A and B are shown apart, each in its own frame.
Chain A
Amino acid sequence: DQQVKQNSPSLSVQEGRISILNCDYTNSMFDYFLWYKKYPAEGPTFLISISSIKDKNEDGRFTVFLNKSAKHLSLHIVPSQPGDSAVYFCAASDSAGGTSYGKLTFGQGTILTVHP
């Protein structure tokens, strides 16, 4: 039962253009969402997060959009740079109605390649 899905295994983008990575989830209890970037042989690096009370969060070149009714989130990277080439994972957590979060459930990842 894959509760978080990234349906695009890979994405190729030209430098300077926008990269859009997508993620779908099925568990309606999820109320906190994160994006991580991962290089080979390293641990995931936190990029940006969004709470379910928002529909957009920006941090520099990175913007995350959340559509709760569609159970869909996306990560926009503008402008894309060759150094952004990595595997991107979306992840979700739920607070179980409380005030703190537990484990993360991850998607399978999308390999982003940004060409110079």
Chain B
Amino acid sequence: DTGVSQDPRHKITKRGQNVTFRCDPISEHNRLYWYRQTLGQGPEFLTYFQNEAQLEKSRLLSDRFSAERPKGSFSTLEIQRTEQGDSAMYLCASSLPPTGTQYFGPGTRLLVL
């Protein structure tokens, strides 16, 4: 069990640029979640997948955000036309139903200048 991995760990970009993050879940976990965390707050849910199907999206996920999990394994989260307000830690987690326990990766810290 290698745990959840995320790449990159840090990303600095200029406003208006597009960025893409990758998440590799624990191998046997078929659910994958994305969260965003800003300073002083708890993680906030963005979206989740069961296998390749995207089952739920938060209202926080504007049309500049898109997530995919094409083969039901790794997932990507893309932010188009980044804004300074997108600066945050982006966390990925995975789980194996029926348990509700989610295991988190180390996160990708995004800074938009």
Which residues of A pack against B, CB within 8 Å?
4, 32, 34, 36, 41-46, 49, 89, 91, 93, 95, 99-109
Given A102-B48, A102-B56, A103-B48, A46-B101 contact (CB < 8 Å): yes
Binding site for A on B (CB under 8 A): 4, 6, 33, 35, 40-45, 48, 55-56, 58, 91, 93, 95, 97-107, 109
- Report the bound CA distance from A35 to B102 in whole Å: 11
Please name all residues of chain A whose beta carbon is closer than 8 Å to the beta carbon of B55 when the two chains form the complex: 102
Q: Which of B4, B48, B56, B101 contacts A43 (CB 8 A)?
A: B4
List the 10 shortest-distance A-B pairs measured between CB atoms, nearest first.
Answer: A106-B42, A101-B100, A43-B104, A100-B97, A32-B100, A103-B45, A100-B98, A93-B100, A44-B104, A43-B106
B35 vs chain A, min Cβ distance (A): 8
**A108/B41 in contact, CB under 8 A:** yes
CB distance from A94 to the nearest CB of B (A): 9
CB-based contact B42/A103 at 8 Å: no
Q: Which residues of A contact B106 (CB under 8 A)?
A: 42-43
Residues of B within 8 A of A44 (CB): 43, 91, 104
